[in-house]
Amino acid sequence: MRAPLHPPSHRRRFVIGLACALFLGVGVGLALLTAARTAERHQLASREAVVTLRALTDLIERVEAPPASTEGGLGDELAGLDTGAEEAAPPAPSENAGGGMGLGDELAALDSGAETTAAEPGAAVRHAVTRFAEAHPDLRSVRVVAFEGIRLEASTDPADTGARAAPRRLEREEKDVYDLGQRLRAAIEENRETIAGGGSPINEEISSQELSDGGFSIAGSVERRGDVVGMVLIRTAPNPAARPPAPAWLPALVAWLAPVALLALLALGIGERRTVLAAAALLLLAGGLFGFSRWALGVLEAERRDTASQLAAHANAQMKTAGELLAELVPTGAAPLDPSRWDVDPYRVPRALVTAEGTLDEGKLGEQVRLDAGRLTRSVAVLALLALVLLAFIGFGGAASAGQNLREHRIAYAYVLPAMAGMIVLVFFPFFYSVALSFTNTNIYNANKPVTDLWVGLDNYAAILSDFSVIRSTPDGWAVNYENFYWTFGFNVVWTIANVAIGVALGLILALILNTKGLALRPLYRVLLILPWAVPNYITSLIFQGMFHQQFGVINQMRQLVGLDPVAWFDHPTTSFVAVLTTNGWLSFSFMMVVSLGALQSIPSDLYEAAKVDGASRWQQFKAITLPSLKPALVPAIILSVIWTFNQFNVIYLVSAGQPAGATEILITQAYKLAFQQYRYGYAAAYSMVIFLILLAYGVFQNRASRATEAIGE
Amino acid sequence: MTRKHGGEIPHWPLHLFLILMVVVTIYPILLVLTIAFSGGQSLSIADVPPNAGAGDRLRAILPWPEDVSTSNFRSLFIQQPFARWLGNSVIIATATTFLGVFLASTAAYAFSRFRFPGRRAGLMSFLVSQMFPGTLMLIALYIIIVQWLGLGSTYSGLVLMYTVTAIPFCVWMMKGYFDTIPKELEESALIDGASQAMIFFRIVLPLAKPAVAVTALFSFMTAWNEFIQAATFMNKEEMYTAPVGLRFFVGGFSQQWGYFAAGSIVTAIPIMILFLFLQKYLVSGLTAGAVKG
């Protein structure tokens, strides 16, 4: 079959267009569906493991500290032997959180001390663990660590037999196990403080690691009356339920090819009528995608129900085994087990899918299914839009002419492609991604979720711009709220104006002096005065930060030389401002000087000669000749310098770091702090967008203004 | 300056002012030299006794070390990991230079020589990209490069970012230069049967040597002097660049001013010399760009 170039076949274009559009829609849809199902099953496996861990922990906590008042806890009697930091009553999280040298030192201290007495405090715990492991063939190993005495209290690990059998002290090589426990303890304690302060927890209280074979290694802490006293670490065998599903090719193929075949048939009857063809293709596209998405939704819902009931069944089974063990080991008075606290997220917040009776909460499940449906519908809507664009592009001949274009200018595009690809991936895409981020509450912990799940609309912008509480009352009277956007913005403006004024004034004066005819040593002065511009500005900033040091800085030494008191420069907004202003003044006047000097030297000297002949005074010469000739060079330099100074990150960040209390923060350092010290990516993106809009407004205004002055000048 | 005719101001007040400014200008630089050659880590030049007289105080601000020693430079490279950091900077800046020159010169050549749909839009988009604020890009790039691509603490992540930072300026500058090279040379080469690639690499690039040099230096300096992206993306100590390492010496609670000063000298001297050669091109490039924009 020949492919005639003229006239174009609308029929063929629409059939190809529909095929491509549906391929895009159905293909991506199928990939999303498969990914979601895989994730669901994977999550089931990890949640089952967490449930097992929590059930075991619940059991151990009850067995280890029975309601009867006798203290028979994990290695309690060891406390008397251990004189190390371990004993200090409220365990300081920071001390052990990094997992530094704690264990080694303590082991050494213990080694020299008395040997453990052979009382069996953890016998009940060991018994419970052994019995629990027997009931769970899918558990590879269980290890229980007590912090007091750094003991391995119980273990079913094949390696921990013979001389290494529990109970024993942890060995040096097992420091990472101990450190993990301390990390979890620190996380729990830190989270408690955060929650008490009204925040939401940020540290993971359950550590979950997927092993290379598909099993999980999960650790959680053991508590006694609210104190974290130990850790349970389990390894599970690969869970058969976690096997990824096979993609459902057949329905996808049908959804792709059936509408295409139908359009091809219809096209025989329609002929080359473009509008009718377009309408038919549109209908078939919508129909195909709609059908496919309904089917996908059904599959996903079934998957969700299936995994949820599996999870509930798992929790129920745990409740039975653990309950039987508990009844056996602690015959009286133990609090009942609570399965609703077993299915938890990494912050130990219950997901509420399993009830206290160990059954499935249908209402919660329905809620999750509805959430899924909403999410899927949004994705399909976006996909459908893209597919529609593709259909129109191919159907109406856009693709053909674009292809024509590409072929014709392929050399040019080949040259531009590498740079353009880099710019698109690392500049334009990130820009639009940031714009999207600014409408979300993305932070470091949820950055992997799709943007649509975190959408908060204009909330960030509203929070930034509608907070006018620059000054607020405190118990000690009125105080400025330095974190407020308008304070920072105001400071940023003052900072910019002051700096540019200093830079222009100094630069211009120096340039005028250096332009004096017959002045000796001019080249030497010029080179020396350019130096500040040549020094990298982060080095300048760090030096000046040192020079303004309260005790050792030379500036305070100079003040003392002339009999003044040393100043704590960064303790007060005004002095801190002086410090950053001095630094920026030092590093920015050279640029203005070089620019002005260049412009001054290009003024022909006969202009001045002529003015002198006409009897003009020096001031008149300056006003009529020098200033107008400086303007073309100075105006763009000032515009540039305003933008540079407005965004002068390094000086503020390295010299004052916003001290005191964020008073000398400028917008861009504040945005950085929000993003990389508080990890509020979404909010920081909105903050940065505001900065961008301010600069954009300045750019437009400046453009207008310079055009207006030009118009007046002409 | 001995010539004095009516109305001329005398030169000595000008010299006085200039000398004052020169002192202010070079004092911080001399201070760095003093601390670097002091052999110690102290920020102060000399210890001031509790009830110091004017002499002691004067000594403490005079930028000359009490004992001259090069031990800071030696231990900077032997005891401290500074050689590694400097090496990181060299690798990153060199890679950025090559990649930047390659990408900028090819794109600039196309923008200068060919007329194709999207040419104007492409050029304008490069200009507009210069207005995106740094932190805005930093957040998105951090998520993309570190959290999605896993390129945190790697050379390639930083090289890619520095290259695209430098590209727009370099493209505009090189396009301006290519515009001045007569087209006839290439046309005659084409008639002689040279391929497009041959024309670009064998004829155009050699003719544009000055512009290539400036582009290369600009790319190099962009990468060499960059602090905040490197500080954000390089979390492992052995992957620090020189600027991040210098800040490591005196940031937070660390007060190793001797190492900082010695390291600053090693890092800054080469780039300062380059800069003094380059500054006139930079000034004209910047102001010309601003006038056009």
CATH code of the domain in which A591 resides:
1.10.3720.10
DSSP state, A356?
T
Of B122, B140, B160, the CB nearest to A433: B140
Per-residue pLDDT, B290: 38
Are residues A508 and A649 located together in one domain of the fold?
A: yes
Residue A212 lies in a domain: yes
Residues of chain A contacting B22 with CB distance shorter than 8 Å:
525, 528-529
- Percent above pLDDT 70 for chain A: 88
Are residues A238 and A347 located together in one domain of the fold?
A: no
Do residue B28 and residue A681 have CB atoms under 8 angstroms apart? no
Residue A38: exposure state from Cβ atoms within 10 A (0-12, 13-18, ≥19): middle
Are residues B187 and B55 located together in one domain of the fold?
A: no
Q: How far is CA A242 from CA A33, A44, A51, A64, A206, in A?
A: 16, 7, 15, 33, 20
Are residues A233 and A258 located together in one domain of the fold?
A: no
pLDDT digits (tens, 9 = 90+) for A336-357: 788 888 888 878 888 777 777 7
| Cα atoms in the Cβ-side hemisphere of radius 13 Å centred on A338 | 9
Identify residue A467 by its one-letter amino acid code: D
Classify strands A227-236 and A471-474 as parallel, antiparallel or unpaired.
unpaired
Do residue A416 and residue B267 have CB atoms under 8 angstroms apart? no
Type and span of the H or E element at B117: none
Residue B1 lies in a domain: no
Classify strands A216-224 and A168-169 as parallel, antiparallel or unpaired.
unpaired
Residue B16 lies in a domain: yes
Do residue B267 and residue A539 have CB atoms under 8 angstroms apart? yes
pLDDT digits (tens, 9 = 90+) for B8-47: 677 888 889 999 999 999 999 999 998 888 887 888 777 7
CA distance A556 to chain B (A): 10
Are residues B108 and B201 located together in one domain of the fold?
A: yes
Q: Does B275 touch chain A if contact means CB atoms closer than 8 Å?
A: yes
Are residues B24 and B57 located together in one domain of the fold?
A: yes
Per-residue pLDDT, A115: 38
d(CA B32, CA A641): 27
Which range marks the domain in which residue B40 is found? Answer: 12-69
A139-146: strand order across its sheet = A168-169, A151-155, A139-146, A227-236, A216-224, A207-210
The residue out of B25, B43, B69 marking a domain boundary is B69
Describe the crossing of helices B257-292 and A522-534 by its angle, rounded to 10 degrees: 100
A120-130 burial, b at 16+ Cβ within 10 Å, e below that, comes to ebbebbbbbbe
Do residue A431 and residue B122 have CB atoms under 8 angstroms apart? no
* Closest residue by Cα to residue A147 from A58, A79, A241: A79
Residue B5's contacts (CB-CB under 8 Å, 6 or more residues apart) are none
Q: How far is CA B98 from CA A589, B83, B282, in A?
A: 32, 22, 19
Per-residue pLDDT, A505: 93
Per-residue pLDDT, A463: 84
Residue B49: exposure state from Cβ atoms within 10 A (0-12, 13-18, ≥19): exposed
Q: Which of A406, A409, A423, A631 to mutate to test binding with chain B, by most B CBs within 10 Å of its CB? A: A423
Are residues A323 and A198 located together in one domain of the fold?
A: no
| Cα atoms in the Cβ-side hemisphere of radius 13 Å centred on B253 | 0
Per-residue pLDDT, A124: 81
Per-residue pLDDT, A566: 84
Of B24, B31, B137, the CB nearest to A431: B137
Q: Is A344 helix (H, G, I), strand (E, B) or coil?
A: strand
Do A664 and A650 meet the contact criterion of CB atoms below 8 Å apart?
Answer: no
Residue in B with minimal Cα distance to A413: B110
Per-residue pLDDT, A8: 66
Are residues B156 and B284 located together in one domain of the fold?
A: yes
Are residues A233 and A299 located together in one domain of the fold?
A: no
pTM beyond 0.80, yes or no: no
Are residues B39 and B106 located together in one domain of the fold?
A: no
Task: Inform me whether the pLDDT recorded for A108 exceeds 50.
Answer: no
Which tokens go with A699? 């750019």
Residues of chain A contacting B246 with CB distance shorter than 8 Å:
538-539, 542
Residue A692 lies in a domain: no
Are residues A304 and A230 located together in one domain of the fold?
A: no
Do A289 and A383 meet the contact criterion of CB atoms below 8 Å apart?
Answer: yes
Are residues A396 and A295 located together in one domain of the fold?
A: yes
Do residue A534 and residue B276 have CB atoms under 8 angstroms apart? yes
Domain count, chain A: 3
Which tokens go with A669? 């350092």
Do residue A647 and residue B133 have CB atoms under 8 angstroms apart? yes
Q: Does B290 touch chain A if contact means CB atoms closer than 8 Å?
A: yes
Are residues B21 and B130 located together in one domain of the fold?
A: no
Are residues B93 and B220 located together in one domain of the fold?
A: yes
Which tokens go with B135? 């932190």
DSSP state, A114?
P
CA-angle at A696, arms to A695 and A700, nearest 5°: 115
Lowest-pLDDT choice from A188-197, A308-317, B41-50: B41-50
Residue in A with minimal Cα distance to B292: A636
Residues of chain A contacting B225 with CB distance shorter than 8 Å:
536-538
Are residues B162 and B242 located together in one domain of the fold?
A: yes
Task: Inform me whether the pLDDT recorded for A203 exceeds 90.
Answer: no
Residue A70 lies in a domain: yes
Do residue B140 and residue A437 have CB atoms under 8 angstroms apart? yes
Per-residue pLDDT, A67: 56
Do A388 and A279 meet the contact criterion of CB atoms below 8 Å apart?
Answer: no
Q: What is the mean pLDDT of residues A651-666?
A: 87
Is residue B284 very low, low, confident or very high in pLDDT (cuts 50, 70, 90)? low
Q: How many residues does chain A have?
A: 714
Do A128 and A63 meet the contact criterion of CB atoms below 8 Å apart?
Answer: yes
pLDDT digits (tens, 9 = 90+) for A3-39: 445 566 888 888 888 889 889 888 888 888 888 888 8
Are residues A32 and A104 located together in one domain of the fold?
A: no
Give the number of beta-carbon pairs within 8 Å between A and B: 261
Residue A489 lies in a domain: no
* Closest residue by Cα to residue B130 from B164, B89, B175, B174: B164
A241-255 burial, b at 16+ Cβ within 10 Å, e below that, comes to ebeeeeeeeebbeeb
The residue out of A392, A408, A424 marking a domain boundary is A408
Q: Does A622 touch chain B if contact means CB atoms closer than 8 Å?
A: no
Task: Inform me whether the pLDDT recorded for A662 exceeds 70.
Answer: yes
Per-residue pLDDT, A104: 44
Per-residue pLDDT, B90: 93
**In this structure, what is the dihedral angle of CA atoms B78, B81, B82, B84, given to the nearest 10 degrees?**
110
Are residues A255 and A174 located together in one domain of the fold?
A: no
pLDDT digits (tens, 9 = 90+) for A135-184: 888 888 898 988 888 888 888 888 888 778 878 888 888 888 888 888 88
Q: How far is CA A137 from CA A56, A216, A217, A265, A360, in A?
A: 14, 14, 15, 59, 24
d(CA A691, CA A674): 14
pLDDT digits (tens, 9 = 90+) for A215-227: 888 998 888 878 8
More confident residue, B27 or A112: B27
Are residues B178 and B203 located together in one domain of the fold?
A: yes
d(CA A447, CA A278): 40
CA distance A446 to chain B (A): 11
More confident residue, A324 or B91: B91
Dihedral of alpha carbons B97, B98, B100, B104, sign: positive
Domain count, chain B: 2
Are residues B163 and B27 located together in one domain of the fold?
A: no
Are residues B38 and B115 located together in one domain of the fold?
A: no
Mean pLDDT of chain A: 81
Are residues A165 and A269 located together in one domain of the fold?
A: no
Residue A163 lies in a domain: yes
Do A547 and A555 meet the contact criterion of CB atoms below 8 Å apart?
Answer: yes
Per-residue pLDDT, B6: 46
Mean pLDDT of chain B: 82
Per-residue pLDDT, B159: 92
Chain B, 175 to 194: residues with Cβ < 8 Å from chain A are none
Residue A187 lies in a domain: yes
Q: What is the mean pLDDT of residues A468-490?
A: 79
CA-angle at A500, arms to A470 and A633, nearest 5°: 145
pLDDT digits (tens, 9 = 90+) for A517-548: 788 888 888 888 988 888 888 999 999 988 89
Instruction: Evaluate the omega torsion of the peptide bond into residue A7 and state whether it is cis, within 30 degrees of 0.
Output: yes
Residue B5 lies in a domain: no
Q: Does A654 touch chain B if contact means CB atoms closer than 8 Å?
A: yes
pLDDT digits (tens, 9 = 90+) for B106-147: 999 999 888 888 888 888 888 888 778 777 788 888 888 887
Instruction: Evaluate the omega torsion of the peptide bond into residue A167 and state whether it is cis, within 30 degrees of 0.
Output: yes
CA distance B257 to chain A (A): 9
Are residues A499 and A643 located together in one domain of the fold?
A: yes
Residue B31 lies in a domain: yes
Residue B2 lies in a domain: no
Which tokens go with A453? 């799940």
More confident residue, A524 or A78: A524
Q: Does A431 touch chain B if contact means CB atoms closer than 8 Å?
A: yes
CATH value at residue B192: 1.10.3720.10
CA distance A354 to chain B (A): 33
Do residue A416 and residue B106 have CB atoms under 8 angstroms apart? yes
d(CA A329, CA A59): 10
Residue B4 lies in a domain: no
Is residue A447 very low, low, confident or very high in pLDDT (cuts 50, 70, 90)? low
Residue B74 lies in a domain: no
Q: Does B144 touch chain A if contact means CB atoms closer than 8 Å?
A: yes
Per-residue pLDDT, A578: 92
d(CA A645, CA A650): 10
The residue out of A353, A385, A408 marking a domain boundary is A408
Is residue A448 very low, low, confident or very high in pLDDT (cuts 50, 70, 90)? low
Do residue A538 and residue B137 have CB atoms under 8 angstroms apart? no
Residue A114 lies in a domain: no
Q: Does A648 touch chain B if contact means CB atoms closer than 8 Å?
A: no
Do residue A586 and residue B25 have CB atoms under 8 angstroms apart? yes
DSSP state string for A187-231: HHHHHHHHHHTT----S-SSEEEE-TTS-EEEEEEEEETTEEEEE
pLDDT digits (tens, 9 = 90+) for A249-305: 888 888 888 988 998 888 888 877 888 888 888 899 999 989 988 898 888 888 888
Are residues A264 and A368 located together in one domain of the fold?
A: yes
The residue out of B42, B69, B96 marking a domain boundary is B69
Of B11, B117, B279, the CB nearest to A594: B279
Which range marks the domain in which residue A294 is found? Answer: 10-44+244-408
Q: How many residues does chain B have?
A: 293
Per-residue pLDDT, A87: 38
Residue B3 lies in a domain: no
Q: Is A381 helix (H, G, I), strand (E, B) or coil?
A: helix
Are residues B220 and B93 located together in one domain of the fold?
A: yes
pLDDT digits (tens, 9 = 90+) for A569-598: 888 889 999 999 999 999 889 888 988 888
- Percent above pLDDT 90 for chain A: 7
Query: ipTM score of the complex?
Result: 0.86
